[in-house]
């Protein structure tokens, strides 16, 4: 199925400066939001504590629930509605890992029944220790970091035949990160520093395709995390899974465009790079849009009908697919042109 004619000629590369401005603006807003909120809002998986999901036969005031919790020493717990309003379900979260206490479930049930004047059904109760949450948070960061590094090896090897250089660089970075973890360096700071060093090495080692792909992926993840921070949505393991899915989806789009660029570099080698990039993007535009639309259709259906458990996961995928499609066109490919302009200035200078 051809959504857009193959001979379409939209000057997408010509809009790269506007696209760069939009991307930088979104990234800056995301970073400012993360700074203001002190990082992403950590869910139970990462922060530790106890999560209780309760259901009432009728609508209950949040203050009544908090009053009941206060009577059993959980006055500092946060309470929020969960799912559709007519289901009358609520999530209770406390920083204390108290679920292991004998009879705790019964105490909660009695306290809430007394404060609300009605029946209460405890539908779910989960507990994660603080140390377990910290370990999960660090492993999630490492998972994304290693995924990005292995992607650079693949991109550099496939499009520039620089398997050895990219492999040695990735191993060196992994070794350095591991070494610093032995000195109890902050993991988020360490991963951020390692990514910055990676981009600098890409620049000096002239791994332009890898740099374009990684910048696009960092762009996608940062904006997705930023939107979650702006909307004050909790980060859980499900969201990390969504981010890794977004990385894979965005990379797939980028590789398709890069493949066409590589073919057209041989076919139209006498033409300027801007012409080749623009033609390559236009030739793959139909597939890119069609893939994104069909993927979004499924993800939006999950978001609307999937229920509260996967609501945030589906929302993350919606953002990621939209931003990933944008970055494949307006971030990953234009970086190759920026690279050539830098090389030209270097020669002329």
How far apart CA 133 and CA 234 sit, in angstroms, is: 14
Mean pLDDT of the chain: 83
Mean pLDDT computed over 79-105? 73
Q: Are strands 121-128 and 78-82 parallel, antiparallel or unpaired?
A: unpaired
> Is 22 a residue whose pLDDT tops 80?
yes
Least confident of 166-180, 207-221, 293-307, 309-323: 166-180
Superfamily of domain 13-43+132-140+209-348: Multidrug efflux transporter AcrB transmembrane domain (1.20.1640.10)
- At 30 the pLDDT is 93
Sheet holding 49-55, edge to edge: 78-82, 89-94, 49-55, 121-128
| pLDDT at residue 65 is higher than 80 | yes
Q: For residue range 173-209, what is the model confidence (pLDDT) as tens digits?
A: 888 888 888 777 777 788 888 888 888 888 888 888 9
Domain 49-128 has what CATH class?
alpha beta
* pLDDT on residue 348: 64
What is the location of CATH 1.20.1640.10 in the chain? 13-43+132-140+209-348
Confidence of residue 240 (pLDDT cuts 50, 70, 90): confident
**Burial of residue 175, with CB atoms counted within 10 A of its CB: 0-12 exposed, 13-18 middle, 19 or more buried:** exposed
Predicted TM-score (pTM) of this structure: 0.82
Instruction: Give the tokens for residue 137.
Output: 């948070």
Q: Of 102-111, 278-287, 337-346, where does the model show the most confidence?
A: 278-287
Percent of the chain beyond pLDDT 90? 17
Q: What whole-number percentage of the chain has pLDDT above 70?
A: 92
Specify the length of the chain in residues: 349
- In this predicted structure, the answer to whether residue 245 has a pLDDT above a threshold of 70 is yes
Mean pLDDT of 218-233: 92
Q: Which of 24-33, 131-140, 308-317 has the lowest mean pLDDT?
A: 131-140
User: What is the b/e burial string over 316-328, where b = at least 16 CB atoms within 10 angstroms of the residue's CB?
Assistant: bbbbbbbbbbbbb
Boundaries of CATH 3.30.70.100 in the chain?
Answer: 49-128
Q: Decide: helix, strand or coil at residue 345.
A: helix
Nearest to 299 by CA among 280, 316, 275, 285: 316
319 — pLDDT class (breaks 50, 70, 90)? very high
* Per-residue pLDDT tens digits for 95-142: 766 655 557 778 888 888 888 877 888 888 877 766 666 777 788 888
Residues 6 or more apart whose Cβ sits within 8 Å of residue 176: 194
Between residues 341 and 328, the one the model is more confident about? 328
pLDDT at 346 over 80: no
* Residue from 255, 329, 313 nearest 263 by CA: 255
**90 bridge partner residues:** 54, 81
pLDDT tier at 324, thresholds 50, 70, 90: very high
On the question of pLDDT at 228 being above 70, the answer is: yes
Give 66 or 325, the one with higher predicted confidence. Answer: 325
> What average pLDDT does range 18-41 have in this prediction?
91
- Taking only the tens place, the pLDDT of each residue in 3-17 is 566 667 788 888 888
Contact by Cβ (8 Å): 163, 95? no
pLDDT computed for residue 109 by the predictor:
84
Q: What angle, rounded to 10 degrees, do the helices at 333-348 and 16-36 form? A: 110
Lowest mean pLDDT among 27-31, 304-308, 313-317: 304-308
As given in the structure block, the two tokens for residue 216 are 């696009």
Q: What sign does the CA torsion over 8, 13, 15, 20 have?
A: positive
């Amino acid at each position: 199925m051809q959504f857009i004619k193959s001979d379409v000629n939209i000057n997408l590369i010509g809009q790269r400066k506007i696209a760069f401005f939009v991307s930088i603006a979104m990234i800056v807003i995301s970073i400012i939001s993360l700074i203001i909120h002190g990082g992403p809002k950590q869910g139970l998986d990462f922060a530790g504590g106890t999560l209780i999901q309760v259901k009432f036969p009728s609508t209950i005031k949040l203050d009544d629930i908090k009053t009941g919790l206060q009577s059993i020493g959980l006055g500092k717990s946060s309470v929020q509605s969960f799912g559709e309003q007519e289901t009358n379900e609520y999530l209770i979260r406390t920083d204390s890992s108290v679920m292991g206490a004998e009879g705790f479930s019964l105490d909660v049930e009695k306290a809430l029944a007394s404060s609300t004047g009605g029946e209460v059904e405890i539908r779910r109760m989960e507990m994660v220790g603080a140390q377990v949450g910290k370990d999960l948070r660090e492993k999630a960061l490492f998972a994304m970091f290693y995924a990005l590094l292995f992607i650079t090896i693949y991109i550099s090897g496939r499009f520039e035949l620089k398997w050895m250089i990219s492999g040695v660089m990735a191993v060196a970075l992994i070794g350095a990160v591991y070494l610093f973890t032995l000195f109890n360096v902050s993991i988020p700071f360490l991963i951020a520093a390692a990514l910055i060093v990676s981009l600098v090495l890409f620049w000096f080692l002239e791994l332009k395709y890898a740099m374009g792909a990684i910048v696009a992926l960092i762009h996608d993840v940062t904006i997705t995390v930023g939107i979650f921070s702006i909307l004050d949505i909790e980060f859980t393991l499900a969201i990390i899974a969504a981010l890794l899915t977004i990385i894979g989806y965005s990379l797939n789009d980028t590789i398709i465009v890069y493949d066409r660029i590589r073919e057209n570099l041989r076919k139209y080698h006498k033409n300027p790079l801007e012409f080749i990039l623009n033609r390559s993007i236009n030739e793959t535009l139909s597939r890119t849009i069609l893939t994104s639309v069909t993927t979004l259709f499924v993800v939006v259906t999950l978001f609307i009908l999937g229920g509260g458990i996967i609501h945030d996961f589906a929302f993350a995928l919606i953002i990621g697919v939209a931003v990933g499609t944008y970055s494949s066109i307006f971030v990953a490919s234009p970086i190759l042109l920026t690279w050539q302009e830098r090389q030209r200035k270097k020669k002329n200078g």
